[in-house]
Structure 1
Amino acid sequence: MENAGIKIFAGSSGIAFARKICDYLEVELGRSETITFSEGNTFVRIGETVRDKDVYLVQSIGLNPNNEFVEILFWVDAFKRASAHSVTVIMPYFSYAKGDKKDEPRVSIRARVCAESIELAGADRIVAMDLHSHQIQGFFKKPVDHLFALPVLCEVIMRMRLDEFVVVSPDAGFAKQARKYANYLGTTMAIGDKTRKDHRERAEIMDIIGDVQGKTAVIVDDFSLTGGSIVELSKCLVERGAKRIMACLSHAVLNEAAVRKIEASAIERLIVTDSVENPHLVHSAKIQCISVAPLFGEAIRRIHRKESVSPLFERVPSKVVACSTDAFPID
């Protein structure tokens, strides 16, 4: 079998995602269990031998970030103590990536602390998607493969066959990545002038830079917690004459209130990925989830065969696109 020897295991928040990766690679998911004791302690156990194996651990740090992060440390330690040859952490979403700088006095650079802890536990490589900023790769001393949802999301947008449309970045910070969306799709872009006064997860859109009059606006962003930015941006876009509003998120870390907010907004459809297992999305008529597990599966296959992963940063193989989108017809 082509992918024989690939050993994939899942943490408690990565089971569904890991199964999709295994389906793509046509391998079996490794046996393991996670137990949470009554006082909150976490216990992990590997259910098969991993001696001298290259192990891939799938676990997002998402809706329960503290427990999920600590669980990664325990899993990595368990694999190394079981004499695994290498341990690659497959982390579709890294919640603490938001803490990437010291932009006010007496605060922690949380992403760096997490990165160092994962490495000290014994991780040999990290694979993540759409980190909040590229500099986070520098917090790790071990290799980091930084994947992007952009090619998969863009293929979905193209299948929607929209009329004249414009890509919209919610702020200047995401403008560079939004430009890549616009270039991939062969269209123009606009930028929201956003301000955030404190840590209360509330943003204010001051203006729109660019022409959206009479066009379908496609908002793109890496993640959303409360839905506030994209909902406020959609209001501003309607005021500026946009005829339809669509949106794409790499990571949907939305709570129940955020989903209700999006349901009541001018956004017609929100396309998200399954990088975070989020039960709040299930009953939404507007939110559509596509899988990036095939993208990670292809990255694992290339890493295991010692092939280059960099082609996946810009454009993904047709097989990956087909596996990601066929279960979610757009046309």
Structure 2
Amino acid sequence: MSYRPNNGPRPQAFQPPQGELAIIAGSANKQLAAKIANELGVRLTPCEAHYFSEGNVFVRILENVRGCDCYVIQGTHQPVNDNFMELLFWIDALKRASAQQITAVIPFFSYAKGDKKDEPRVSIRARVCADALEAAGADRCLMMDLHSPQIQGFFRVPVDHLYARYVLCDHIKSLGIENLVVCSPDIGFAKGASAYANYLGVPVVIGNKTRRDHTERAEVLELIGDVDGRNVLIVDDFTISGGTLMSMADVLKDRGANDIYAAVSHGVLSKGVAPRIAKSGIKQLFITDTIEPQNDPLPHNISVVSVAELFAEAIQSIHDRTSVSQLFPDGAVPSE
């Protein structure tokens, strides 16, 4: 038995050489994957996914990835279950092809809403998905704006969590909107709204809403803070029906606000929502390209801000084994 004094040299952990970087584009995020590959200066790895008439999906990697550091770009938006199963099959295919490391890059993780057992006899869906990703063979995950950041604790593999607010805020700053205040549509996103406000250097106000059932409809009841004569930016992590944003915009207008803007990380936008937002009191809604528009053409007042560069920088950091947190301007990823 050997003894090493406390002040002696600490042995360096063995790190195997990192394989060639490979980007695999799943069906859900082909455009974003192409942008990420372009930012990284690599080509997309040839692959194919085929959906059969009965609903089964078949995936195949079309070239050798043995020993490669592989990144599967595949969100789990609508159709949620098809996209999630396809992601599992990509991971399994890469595992069986002897990839050195497999990272599931999930721009939008829809089941993040199922993060707790808040009713009797319900499933904690996010935990089930985490177990499935690990069982399929994912070595780590890279996600953006989880509905509940503590979901990272559901995984036994590393999870890198990116925030779209830096990209969105930089875009909003470039517009030169004066006399701005940030608004959270509910108490639950108050910390997130404060982070937006701190980065933009503006005040924050908070709305209070209630949701009576499992539909996407919510009613804004009250507003904490003054918006009279101010331009307002409503912020949230995602929107499906747009109801919260439009209801909040009405309340803000009633309180004397001038122009109403909104920014969300994930524009889920179910069918018929985009036309309603076009006719709403929202002057401009900023969303990212974590979800490709599926249901309706985007109207003039919905702008897409790309997060491809941020994802590419995170992938490069993981590949180079450097800190992902260095990508954030405030030095460290907040725990909000």
Same fold (TM over 0.5): yes
- For residues 22 and 184 of structure 1, what CA distance do their matches in structure 2 show? 29
Q: Distance in 2 between matches of 1:39 and 1:153?
A: 40
Instruction: Provide the C-alpha distance between the structure 2 equivalents of 1:91 and 1:278, rounded to a whole number of angstroms.
Output: 17
Cα distance change, pair 29–269 in 1 and its aligned pair in 2 (3 A): same
Kindly state the Cα deviation for residue 281 of structure 1 after the two structures are TM-superposed.
5.5
Q: Deviations over 1:167-190 (max 9, x none)?
A: 000101000011010000111000
Structure 2 Cα separation of the partners of residues 298 and 291 of structure 1: 13
Structure 1: runs of 5+ lacking an equivalent: 317-331
**Aligned equivalent of 2:198:** 183
**Aligned partner of 2:184 among 166, 169, 173:** 169
SS in 2 for 1:205: strand
- Please tell me whether residue 14 in structure 1 is matched to residue 29 in structure 2: yes
Per the TM alignment, residue 280 of structure 1 is displaced from its structure 2 partner at its CA by 3.7
Could you say which residue in structure 1 is the equivalent of 2:239? 224
Query: How far apart in 2 are the matches of 1:234 and 1:270?
Result: 11
State the shift of 1:311 in Å.
Answer: 2.0
CA contact (8 A) 2:19 2:68 kept: no
**C-alpha deviations, 1:180-207, integer Å up to 9, x for none?**
1000011100011111111021100001
Q: Does 1:75 align with 2:90?
A: yes
The answer to whether 1:57 aligns with 2:72 is yes
Q: Which residue of 1 aligns with 2:163?
A: 148
Matching residue within 209, 221, 241 for 1:206: 221
CA distance in 1 between counterparts of 2:95 and 2:74 reads: 17
The one-letter code matched in structure 2 to 1:81 is R
Any gaps of 5 or more consecutive residues in structure 2?
1-17, 332-336
For residue 10 of structure 1, report the CA deviation from its aligned partner. 1.0
Change in CA separation of 1:278 and 1:289 when aligned onto 2, cut-off 3 Å: same
Which of the two has higher C-alpha Rg?
A: 2
1:41 matched to 2:56? The reply is yes
- In the alignment of these two chains, the number of paired residues is 314
Does the 8 A contact of 2:272 with 2:295 survive in 1? no
Alignment partner, residue 101 of structure 1:
116
Q: Deviation digits for residues 234-254 of structure 1, max 9, x if unmatched?
A: 000000110110000100000
Q: Is the CA contact 1:4–1:27 (under 8 Å) kept in the aligned structure 2?
A: no
* Mapped pair 1:296 → 2:308: no
Task: Give structure 1 regions of 4+ aligned residues with deviation exceeding 4 angstroms.
Answer: none
CA distance, structure 1, for counterparts of residue 58 and residue 253 of structure 2: 50
Superimposed CA distance per residue, residues 110-135 of structure 1 (whole angstroms, 9 cap, x where no aligned partner): 11100110011000010000000111
Distance 2:235 2:144 in 1: 15
Report the equivalent of 1:257.
272
The DSSP-based 3-state class of the residue aligned with 2:253 is helix
Q: What SS does the corresponding residue of 1:191 show, helix, strand or coil?
A: strand
- 1:194 & 1:236 partners in 2: Cα distance? 11
Task: Determine if the alignment matches structure 1 residue 159 to structure 2 residue 174.
Answer: yes
Contact 2:19 2:67 survives alignment (8 Å): no
2:260 to 236, 245, 249: 245
Match of 2:146 in 1: 131
Distance 2:187 2:234 in 1: 13
C-alpha distance in 1 between matches for 2:139 and 2:133: 9
- What residue number does 1:322 align with? none
The equivalent position to 2:47 in structure 1, one of 8, 25, 32, is: 32
How far off its partner does 1:314 sit? Answer: 4.2
Provide the secondary structure at the position in 2 that maps to 1:302: helix
Number of the residue aligned with 1:287: 302
Asked if the contact 2:272–2:296 (Cα under 8 Å) also holds between the matched residues in 1, the reply is no
- Kindly indicate whether the alpha-carbon contact (under 8 Å) linking 1:281 and 1:287 is maintained by their aligned counterparts in 2: no
TM-score normalised by the chain length of structure 2: 0.91
Cα distance in 2 for partners of 1:215, 1:281 equals 31
Do the aligned partners of 2:274 and 2:298 also contact (CA within 8 Å) in 1? no
| C-alpha RMSD of the superposition | 1.4
Does the CA contact (< 8 Å) of 1:32 and 1:47 recur in 2?
yes
C-alpha displacement at 1:257, in angstroms?
1.5
Q: Secondary structure at the match of 1:14?
A: helix
Change in 2 beyond 3 A, CA 1:186/1:204: same
3-state secondary structure, aligned to 2:82: helix
Q: For 2:275, give the aligned amino acid.
A: R
How many percent of aligned residue pairs carry the same amino acid? Answer: 52
